[in-house]
Copies of this chain bind each other. A is one copy, B any other.
Amino acid sequence: NGLLVKDVIEFNDAVKHANPGDVITLANGVWNNAELVFEGKGTEEEPITLTVEEKGKVTLEGNSNLQLAGEHLIVEGLVFKNGYTPTNAVISFRKNREEMANNCRLTECVIDNYNNPERQVQDYWVTIYGQNNRIDHNHIAGKKNLGVTMIVGLDTEGSRKNNHSIDHNYFGPRPTYGNNGGETLRIGTSHHALENSNTLVESNYFDRTNGEHEIISNKACQNTFKYNTFYECTGTLTMRHGNETMVDGNVFIGNGKPSTGGVRIINETQTVINNYHIGLTGYRFRGAFVMMNGVPNSPPNRYVPVIDSKLENNTFINCDHIQLCAGSDSERSQAPRTSEISGNIFYNENKNDTFTVYDDISGITFKDNLLGENGVSAIKSGFENAAITLVKNDQGFLIPKSDKIKNEISISPKIATKANTGTSWYSKADNSVALNTGKTIKVEPGINTLYEIVKTSEAGDIIELEDDGTYLITKAVKINHPLTFKTVGAKKATVLFERMMAFEIQNGGSLSLENVSFDGTKSPDYAGNSVISTSKNSMIDNYKLFIDNCEFKDMVVNHSFDVLRVSKGTFADTISIQNSTFKNISGHITALDKETDDIGAYNVEYLIMKNNTVTDLQGAALRLYRGGKDESTFGPFLEVDHNTFNNVGFGKKNKYNAAISLYGVQVNDIQNNNFNNTKGLNMHLVVGEPIVNVVNNNYYKSDEVIVTGDQKYNIDKLYNLKPEFNA
């Protein structure tokens, strides 16, 4: 009853004839475009098993996937990589809507960077249907395209009250997706929110699963989340729909990373107990703890008000934001009722008051909570100050100690760790290479020397240009791994280019430019040139772009010559432009507004523009656009500081009619800039309680700030002085 199969035909034959107790073994090697349907009826004592000849030596690649259907099936050891599923799931616990898998187990399987190359094309990696299935010790990492990583579906009766166990899985890094649809686990949907799912999610490790603000989106009733570890995750375990959720004994480790969060409560009879949170910095919907306002008489797919819920015996160490009645607005006007916050420790060494209260909290009972010695709260009762110290325990956790803490705080030995989750045979190491971590290569001035050197470079390399050297590019330089270009010496090297772009950032590429001058006089006499362009195709990997101490000049051979031109379907983690000069340019520095579907997508998470001088720019210095009203993401984050803009934005083709045009940006920090004889700053504030600080800017003979939309903002210290520049 053991059968080694070498291809899909043999596999199908083996499946067809499989009896209880049989073991079907995939032979070592690459299985390309293998769409496996594993169906059969095993028994509890004698399941049918699908395994591999040697773990780690069987890979499913290309357009491969797996469907399970039947009873008592075990799948172990499959590795999906180097490809993507042509269907909507990599592994599915059903063959079709009628034929599901029950009493089955998926264990020690791997799905690693198995992404559709179109980041905006949706798929799932694991879809769980049926009942009594166990999904354990799998390694699931690197999802980058649209769609939840793992879902539990409840769309038929046979998938409800399912008693599934999702345990000891390693959910590896999932980078910011830049829109809704980047969740790591979802149970249920709004359509079936009031069904009982009865799913146990236990001892899983969530390692930087940062796709969006819902790490887990719970959308059904009676689920339990225990002993999971959330490591540096920029989101929360969200009880989006459904009631009677138990969140018990989980650990949230933020390490002070931006936007890291804890638990968010919506709906009824939710219980959050015995959880440990440390170093979480997120605010608003990504707070360390968030209890939301609801919509009165809400339909199940909006926001059901919080009632009968409790936050008890949890520990918050150095967590910056506890958010109560969050999301309060004209629609979400119902504050929580008959709920309780008790027996928790809120200890912060750097911040005295971590509570933000957005509405009436009289429906929440506070008692027996401890604050640190300097802790304060506007909430008058139910809090006590305590002299707290932190002591590292055997597991390495900092445990608060105080004579006011009655029961010793402890972390369950069942808590997920990197070691006790996933598989032992598939590495969890991070293979990404950062900028400036490679070797230094010198490149001679000349024609296409830059093009040639890049072909032989490796990720992280630093390419050094010659002091005052001249580099002509007649072929666009493709950047498909992280590379730095810099001039060493006082006189910047000059780069000229005959193609519509000097550099094209392709999937996997990141670019740093330091101390280089770019001259547009050799560029083609067509509209639409740019110094840097992203791939026109979708890029599944987020990229980074740093420009420091560079010069961009004489880019007027035709109209619409931009410095950076991005495409739809690309997303930058960071674009930083600092200490640089821009002069005589017919287009924009950059227009980051290619996501026009208005579903919440945008082109960059962090944009920094600092200490630059921009002169005679016909287009806008910056256009940044986030359309739609989705609340799943919290960017873009914008910092514009200490720049000087002279004669910017007056070109006939500058359709933004501004030097800086912002739409839907979530964090707007615009400080200490000089606008001189320049178009102004337009800002449309539309969703998400954006942070807006426009402070200490000078507008001389320039348009000032125009704000539209319906959100609050702070504009202060706006001057109209004539700037004087030293020569």
Check A16 for interface membership: any CB of B closer than 8 A: no
CB distance B536 to A655 under 8 Å?
no
CA distance A44 to B68 in the complex (A): 77
Chain B residue numbers with a CB within 8 Å of A526 are: 122, 146-147, 181
Chain B residue numbers with a CB within 8 Å of A147 are: 524, 526
User: Which residue from chain B places its CB closest to the CB of A63 in the assembled complex?
Assistant: B475
Interface members, chain A 123-152 (any B CB < 8 Å): 146-147
Chain B residue numbers with a CB within 8 Å of A596 are: 593-594, 596
Chain B residue numbers with a CB within 8 Å of A593 are: 596
CA distance A122 to B599 in the complex (A): 32
Size class of the A contact interface (CB-based, 8 Å) = 35 or more
CB distance A653 to B598 under 8 Å?
yes
Q: With A526-B147, A536-B120 in contact, is A87–B653 under 8 Å at CB?
A: no
CB distance B568 to A120 under 8 Å?
no
Check A528 for interface membership: any CB of B closer than 8 A: yes
Check A428 for interface membership: any CB of B closer than 8 A: no
**What is the predominant secondary structure among interface residues of chain A facing chain B?**
loop
CB distance B88 to A120 under 8 Å?
no
Check A474 for interface membership: any CB of B closer than 8 A: yes
User: Which residue from chain B places its CB closest to the CB of A600 in the assembled complex?
Assistant: B527
Chain B residue numbers with a CB within 8 Å of A86 are: 475-476
Check A161 for interface membership: any CB of B closer than 8 A: no
Check A716 for interface membership: any CB of B closer than 8 A: no
Chain A 536-565 against B: per-residue CB contact (8 Å), 1 yes, 0 no?
Answer: 111000000000000000000001100000
Check A500 for interface membership: any CB of B closer than 8 A: yes
CB distance A524 to B474 under 8 Å?
no
Q: B475, B538, B598: which contacts A87 (Cβ < 8 A)?
A: B475
Q: With A181-B526, A526-B146, A536-B118 in contact, is A598–B88 under 8 Å at CB?
A: no
Chain A 561-578 against B: per-residue CB contact (8 Å), 1 yes, 0 no?
Answer: 000000111000000000
CA distance A191 to B556 in the complex (A): 13
Separation in Å of the A121 CB from the closest CB of chain B?
Answer: 6
Chain A 468-486 against B: per-residue CB contact (8 Å), 1 yes, 0 no?
Answer: 0000001110000000000
CA distance A447 to B559 in the complex (A): 51
User: Which residue from chain B places its CB closest to the CB of A565 in the assembled complex?
Assistant: B597
Chain A 244-279 against B: per-residue CB contact (8 Å), 1 yes, 0 no?
Answer: 000000000000000000000000000000000000
Chain B residue numbers with a CB within 8 Å of A55 are: none
Check A54 for interface membership: any CB of B closer than 8 A: no
CB distance A569 to B88 under 8 Å?
no
CA distance A567 to B598 in the complex (A): 15
CA distance A559 to B118 in the complex (A): 20
CA distance A390 to B242 in the complex (A): 83
CB distance B500 to A655 under 8 Å?
no
Chain B residue numbers with a CB within 8 Å of A628 are: 653
CB distance B499 to A87 under 8 Å?
yes
Chain B residue numbers with a CB within 8 Å of A498 are: 87-88
Check A96 for interface membership: any CB of B closer than 8 A: yes
Check A162 for interface membership: any CB of B closer than 8 A: no
Chain B residue numbers with a CB within 8 Å of A536 are: 118, 120-121, 537-538, 568-569
Interface members, chain A 53-110 (any B CB < 8 Å): 86-88, 96
User: Which residue from chain B places its CB closest to the CB of A599 in the assembled complex?
Assistant: B527
Chain B residue numbers with a CB within 8 Å of A568 are: 536, 567-568
User: Which residue from chain B places its CB closest to the CB of A451 in the assembled complex?
Assistant: B86
CA distance A411 to B44 in the complex (A): 92
Check A525 for interface membership: any CB of B closer than 8 A: yes
Chain B residue numbers with a CB within 8 Å of A122 are: 499-500, 524, 526
Q: B120, B146, B560, B569: which contacts A599 (Cβ < 8 A)?
A: B560
CA distance A525 to B559 in the complex (A): 42
CB distance A599 to B528 under 8 Å?
yes
User: Which residue from chain B places its CB closest to the CB of A568 in the assembled complex?
Assistant: B568
CA distance A130 to B345 in the complex (A): 82
Chain B residue numbers with a CB within 8 Å of A475 are: 86-87
Chain B residue numbers with a CB within 8 Å of A118 are: 536
Separation in Å of the A183 CB from the closest CB of chain B?
Answer: 12
CA distance A86 to B474 in the complex (A): 8
Check A51 for interface membership: any CB of B closer than 8 A: no
Check A189 for interface membership: any CB of B closer than 8 A: yes
CB distance B537 to A655 under 8 Å?
no
User: Which residue from chain B places its CB closest to the CB of A92 in the assembled complex?
Assistant: B474
CA distance A9 to B597 in the complex (A): 51
Q: List residues of A whose CB falls within 8 A of some B CB.
A: 86-88, 96, 118, 120-122, 146-147, 180-181, 189, 191, 447, 474-476, 498-500, 524-528, 536-538, 559-560, 567-569, 593-594, 596-599, 628, 653, 655
A to B CB contacts below 8 Å, 17 in the list:
A86-B475, A86-B476, A88-B498, A96-B447, A120-B536, A121-B536, A122-B500, A122-B524, A147-B524, A527-B597, A536-B537, A536-B538, A560-B599, A567-B568, A568-B568, A596-B596, A598-B655
Known A88-B474, A146-B526, A594-B596; further 8 A-B contacts with Cβ < 8 A: A87-B499, A88-B499, A118-B536, A121-B500, A122-B499, A147-B526, A181-B526, A559-B599
Q: Can you list the 7 inter-chain pairs with the closest CB atoms, starting with the nearest?
A: A86-B475, A527-B599, A87-B474, A537-B537, A122-B526, A88-B498, A118-B536
